[in-house]
Amino acid sequence: MKFRYVRKVATLGLALSLTVGYTQSIASAESKANLENKLDNIKNQQSNNQEKIDSSKEKLSENNKKQNSLIHKLDESQKKIDSINKNIQGKEQDIDAEKQKIKKLEDEIKVITKRINERNEFLKKRIRSMYINGGSVNYIEVIMGSNSFGNFLDRVLALNLIAEQDRQILTDQQNDKKKQESKKQAYQKELTSLEDNLANLKTLKANLDEEKQNQKKLLTQLKAEENDIHDDIMDKQEQEKVLQSQQSIIKNQLAALVKEEEAKKKAEAERQAKERAAVEAAKSAKQSTASHSSSPSISHTQSPAVSHSDPVPSVNADFIKPAAGYISSGFGHRSFDGGFHPGIDIANSIGTPIHAAASGVVSNAYHSSSYGNVVMIAHSVNGKTYTTVYAHMTSYSVSTGQTVSQGQVIGSMGNTGESFGSHLHFELYIGPWTPPPHNGSVNPLNYIH
């Protein structure tokens, strides 16, 4: 949100500067060099933008690759989780079945135990009735009471047989019970192992769930990053659109300027032709009357060197001194620090008015950290473009695009920016202003009245 807001404001600012540029354009207020400089700036910004868009697009494709691989991984995690869930279900069913088997065995064991107890009870009763209250008083009596020895033997044998049978039945039942109990133990062992298995599966599933959550989180992050990159690209593309419209306006301005210059040249040629004709006419008139001839020489050309290291011996007096005061620092290489001073310093008190050194158009009026409050004016003198710079002002009273005439007050002297004490730092360039090392700067004293 914030991002988009900033973008809108930036676009508005650019659009505003466009309209300002447009209203001043046709009046040929800006020099060709200035316009070409602006075009260069735009081209730089465009290639800068393109580089950023390219790198953003690279980031985007990397981001998409990561997202795709993550989606694939998430898919695999889900498959694993599904299969484990199935496994868990199977194990739980197995455990239920095992528990049912154990329950059945326990019921059976209960029945057998009951039978054994009953048998025991029955045997005790029988023995009691046989030996204690079997009609006769006791065993001896039973034996002694027999009518004959054969009868006695029969009785003993019968007793033994019955006892033997009872014992056999009891032993069988007890064996049965033992068998069932060992079966139950085996089932219990199986159950324990199944339950161990289930616990392991559940741990595995928990780990997979966590892994999946992490993958989801990462995917969300990547999606957010993708949105940011998209915003970035859109922002740069919007800037590009603004730059393109700016470019076409400046190109139109340049074309208009060229047309105007051509028209001027044509007018000048016509004027010169007329003048020549007049001179010829005068000559022939003079020749017919007097004997000595004179040819007018109006050329006063001079070509100052563009590099500031070259000496500029010739003096052009088209500029005036921009402020009253004494020259506290001259132009050129300074002996005390070996640095290069691209202008002159005129010292006076704060508030001393500062005047445009020549007529022109304000190409810049802004606050710079080094220049402080600074005004730059583009001049066209004798078909040549110059730029003057007025730095460290307390304040300025002109704005970019404004036309000023020679001597007009543009601000007041001050101590803003990288300045120590109230003074005007004044620079003069042949052509446009340039950043350090300030190519094109010349000694203003060679151009001032």
Q: Which spans of this chain sit near Zn ion (rule: CB under 5 A)?
A: 345, 425
CB of residue 300 vs Zn ion: minimum separation in angstroms?
31
Q: Among all residues, whose Cβ is closest to Zn ion?
A: 425
What gap in Å lies between CA 218 and CA 215, rounded to an integer?
5
Amino acid at 50: Q
Whichever of 187 and 319 has its CB closer to Zn ion, that residue is 319
Closest CA relative to residue 118, chosen from 161, 169, 162 = 169
Secondary structure element (H or E) that encloses residue 36, with its range: helix 32-127
Q: Of 236 and 425, which CB lies nearer to Zn ion in the complex structure?
A: 425
Work out how close the CB of 441 gets to Zn ion at its nearest, in angstroms, rounded to a whole number: 11
Residues with Cβ within 8 Å of 413's Cβ and at least 6 positions away in sequence, in order, are 323, 325, 348, 349, 350, 351, 352, 353, 354, 392, 393, 394, 422, 423, 424
CB of 395 to Zn ion, least distance (A): 19
Angstrom CA distances, 417 to 212, 388, 391, 394, 400, stand at 59, 18, 8, 10, 19
Fill in the amino acid letter for 109: I
CB 65, min distance to Zn ion, A:
56
CA dist., res. 118 & res. 209, Å (int): 57
Nearer to Zn ion, 248 or 370 (CB): 370
Residue 328: CB minimum distance to Zn ion, A = 8
Residue whose tokens read 């070259």: 310
Shortest distance (Å) from residue 345 CB to Zn ion: 4
CA neighbours within 13 Å on the CB side: how many for 147?
A: 1
CB of 379 or CB of 425, closer to Zn ion:
425
- In SS3 terms, 246-282 reads as HHHHHHHHHHHHHHHHHHHHHHHHHHHHHHHHHHHHH
**In degrees rounded to 5, what are phi and psi of residue 40?**
-60, -45
Residue closer to Zn ion, measured from CB, 355 or 425: 425
| Residue 352: CB minimum distance to Zn ion, A | 15
Nearest partner of 121 among 156, 173, 158, judged by Cα: 173
- In the three-class reduction of DSSP (H, G, I as helix; E, B as strand; rest coil), residue 425 is classed as strand
Nearer to Zn ion, 25 or 441 (CB): 441
Q: Cβ closer to Zn ion: 5 or 326?
A: 326
Q: How far is the CB of 372 from Zn ion (least distance, A)?
A: 11
Q: With respect to Zn ion, which residue has the nearer C-beta, 304 or 342?
A: 342
